[in-house]
Chains A and B, each alone.
Chain A
């Protein structure tokens, strides 16, 4: 039977604020789900706590809304033991990067078969608007009336540093790009981290507007496409190698398109992807790449895990009686 987005909707009333970016992501995911070609019962959504983490309640699959920050750990336990399932994690910038930072980096380095969607609105939505680990320095919120002091995380840089085998970034309002990115993530074996720029219109409205506004975005954003030179969408400027070996941005007219780096998400060396993730200005959002930064093959943790079990069982299954007896026993009559 052919599935449609409707098959993945639940009868639960969606309770995000009207206008929240989460709606667009939910609709995008629901219409993408049929592409997986999986029966609904074989898909599981697991989340932590936050506005974003309500997501599983709205997906007509198996799902668990767990506790703050721990979804990657819980999902790892499920994915490792049930390789027959397609396991997806929804998390927020606070959930994934503050309280759950440890689980996120370890899931990434292990490469468990998980697809992690990180809804980044640069704010704590559910607790009503404190700054988050992705908020820009100087952010004025209820908990930082004089502006926040701590330097933000860049989730893509963090993931690459944590040995992630798949890292991408997309935007809530760009359905086509969102769908393409989910498709690439779904095909990847191992952990895929997809950062989704999401608007919280209540506590941090317009956080990503420069990248959405049709007048400016083309001069601010790189769309990463394999085999294509990495230029801003308007083609004006491109990424080139600087004399000191790092990356810099130059006028394409000046340096010539042939000196612009060609994107290669499959590059085994993470250095270029990391440098790309670090080009953007966290305040103005100038020079922000979106797309798949890194997508390299690496055996998933769960496949290696089950290979060990299979090889242990190849010598025959265990016999409980002889296990309990051990090899040093005596008889009492």
Chain B
């Protein structure tokens, strides 16, 4: 039976269910197929901190939203067109985001009196008319799955567990997604369990044919591929791109990569990923705590490795003293902070940008550390390479400030040509670098390169370069302990000048109308929503300029000039105004700070409203 096919330019789907329902996997698969099909895609996984919160409750709801389109998009979308609710809790938790008219697919098998009562529904919303303004599709997903898998030699529980594949099959039919990749994925995942594999494939196919035969769905939708730059693509998550960026940088630096780390959400996946790649000369060390994570990395950096430590905000707090040591020792080190909601344990699985000032100032003494922030999942790759470039060129610790949204989100990524990546090779010191009055020579560990102000990287094992370094202030040049007041003043200024003098690309401004008087300035993962907001505003005839900072320390050299061009500068941040504080302090610009700390990215529509208000006021 062939059905009517409707063309859409973009769709937002949210899969929601219990933590154990496999919603993240379902969403990921749908995303991969959609990216492969050629749509632009952006995703927002949103899951609880508990591995299995009590079943059927609101805190246990795990959701995955994806936005795909026939054009370039930068966010996971504001309001879903389709909600897949695997139980009453998933429906209740997500209703408030649904616009009227949205499609809701509910798994009626889970709408039992007990489950309804758990979340406070007196009657089933599917039957009591409260969803009248939506297009509800009540489907007994679980029993249909069990029924479809009757002939398989598996338990009822195992059959029930395949219901997410039924849902995936149905949605794949509804949106005309290619099926082949999903089957390949299942074959890999269940290679060792042929019965379960066969059952999952059957459930997927059952979902697909259900869509074809049921009268509940009268139309099928199509979203055409988006025009993109020519090249080879894959779908990539931020943490994976960041891991690959580190490996690529180490390869281009021709240095072994060392990671010292302690597990913490949402950074652990980088430790997991890097641990798989020993054959790329990647060494990973799961330390006893964050301090040992960064400590071991400092030891490895001293030994000539490309050293990295990965963590989230609470871990950065523990590492602070050691990062100060790295500042004082002037050794290359990359500190990856995948930010999450704070303070303290905060919202461990949700996103936030509230570690900027911690990265900037969170150490004793004057201890400047360069900061680089990726703007999207794929950009984590380039940002990691840039962090390594700064660390090795200037012999300094560098913060790479990612966050939960870019780390767990994914997008199509144009696979770079390895030869086009920057050459990051470094030269270790091998010879004496100072001549005394009597003509004899010595090695001075704090003799600086006149251009970069970097000190030599002199690794143990190099004959004639034996020297001692430490956290006590050292004499400029020779590097011996020095308590001399003038020397400390000079060294403090030199360390600052070195970081201030790092060359970073200019800040680019997008102002397609050319007459904008308001600038939207952001950093990190807010790029997508700010970009979407600017486009919405422009479509409604409002001119607005957008600039996004990748380098937060030092700021690009043209920042002051860019800021001065606009009557108003608006800085949206997922914190209470940290970049705004820096911009106001540094450039004396009366920036407007727009803030939210809800653990979720901004919505494009909402920011577009902010733009319109500000533009109207100038």
A residues in contact (CB < 8 Å) with B: 10, 12, 39-42, 44, 46, 49, 56-57, 59-67, 70, 73-82, 84-85, 102-103, 106, 305, 308-309, 312-313, 315-318, 320-321, 323-326, 328-333
Contacts and interface: CB of A to CB of B under 8 A. Distances in A.
A312 B284 CA distance: 13
B265 interface: no
10 contacts: A12-B481, A57-B470, A67-B324, A76-B292, A76-B295, A82-B461, A315-B279, A323-B247, A324-B248, A330-B38
Given A320-B247, A320-B418, A328-B36, A70 B322 contact: yes
B466 A65 contact: no
A41 B233 contact: no
A270 B194 CA distance: 48
Contacts of A85: 303, 460-461
B564 interface: no
B230 interface: yes
A85 B466 CA distance: 13
B325 interface: yes
Contact of A78 (B244, B292, B460, B466): B460
Given A41-B466, A65-B471, A323-B277, A328 B299 contact: no
B222 interface: no
Contacts of A56: 468, 470
In the complex, which of the residues B460, B462, B463 has the most CB atoms of chain A within 10 Å of its own CB atom? B460
A309 B283 contact: yes
Interface of B: 32, 35-36, 38, 181, 184, 228-235, 244, 247-248, 251, 256, 258, 260, 277-281, 283, 285, 287-289, 291-292, 295-305, 307, 321-322, 324-325, 329, 415-416, 418, 460-472, 480-481
Contacts of A320: 247-248, 251, 280, 418
A73 B232 contact: no
A48 to B, nearest CB: 10
Given A41-B460, A67-B321, A81-B256, A61 B288 contact: no
A328 B285 contact: no
B295 A77 contact: yes
Nearest to A100: B291
Nearest to B278: A312
B182 to A, nearest CB: 11
A286 B463 CA distance: 48
B307 A77 contact: yes
Contact of A42 (B230, B231, B256, B461): B461
Given A78-B460, A80-B296, A329-B415, A316 B279 contact: yes
A56 B480 CA distance: 12
B415 A74 contact: no
A318 B248 CA distance: 11
B279 to A, nearest CB: 4
A323 B279 CA distance: 11
A103 B295 contact: yes
Contacts of B289: 102
Contact of A41 (B181, B235, B416, B462): B462
Nearest to A325: B415
Contacts of B461: 41-42, 62, 82, 84-85
In the complex, which of the residues B228, B231, B288 has the most CB atoms of chain A within 10 Å of its own CB atom? B288
A317 B283 contact: no
Nearest to A331: B232
A42 B463 CA distance: 8
A77 B258 contact: yes
Q: Which 4 residue pairs of A and B lie closest in terms of their CB atoms, listed nearest first? A: A77-B299, A65-B470, A77-B296, A73-B295
Nearest to A8: B466
